[in-house]
Amino acid sequence: MDLKLRKQRWKTQPFRFAADLVDTLSARVAEDCANSGKSLTAAQYVDAAMALCLPRSIEEQLDLAEEFLLSRDSETGTGKQGSHRVSPEVYEIASQLPNELRRAGHARTAVHVYSGALDRFLKALEQDGPLAAKQQSKP
């Protein structure tokens, strides 16, 4: 809703995710659009994933990256780059993350942090099942 009402506040942020997660995200968005009849975008899902699953501290971000890498036996490839419009709250964290990780001596780790957050979010959605059509209320 915020994206519709305050679109001018949302900013474009580049993200790099594990390639298979981009495919999974696209499939989930398409499925949810079909099931719900709503016009949904990958950016809305990325924003929700980062808002709900992206840790704020470097230590927690590194823990998330490690968890993600371990779940994949350290095989993630270089990832797929994409830009998404995100809320000001997400932009504030995500736009600083790569540089903050670099300062902490962990350059090129942002892809694993972003992927870990998106992976957690998509798994939670999978557990919840498909997005259902909005029920019409009866008078």
Residue in 8, 107, 11, 5 with CA at minimum distance from that of residue 50: 11
Phi and psi torsions of 82, nearest 5°: -160, 155
Phi-psi region of 104 (alpha: psi -120 to 50; beta: other; left: phi over 0): alpha
Q: Which two tokens stand for residue 107?
A: 């350059």
Q: What pTM, to 2 d.p., does this model score?
A: 0.88
Domain ranges in the chain are 2-128
Q: What is the pLDDT of residues 72-118, one digit of tens each?
A: 887 777 789 999 999 999 999 999 999 999 999 999 899 999 999 99
- Quick one: pLDDT at residue 97? 96
- Quick one: pLDDT at residue 131? 83
> What is the separation of C-alpha 57 from the centre of its chain, rounded to a whole number of angstroms?
17
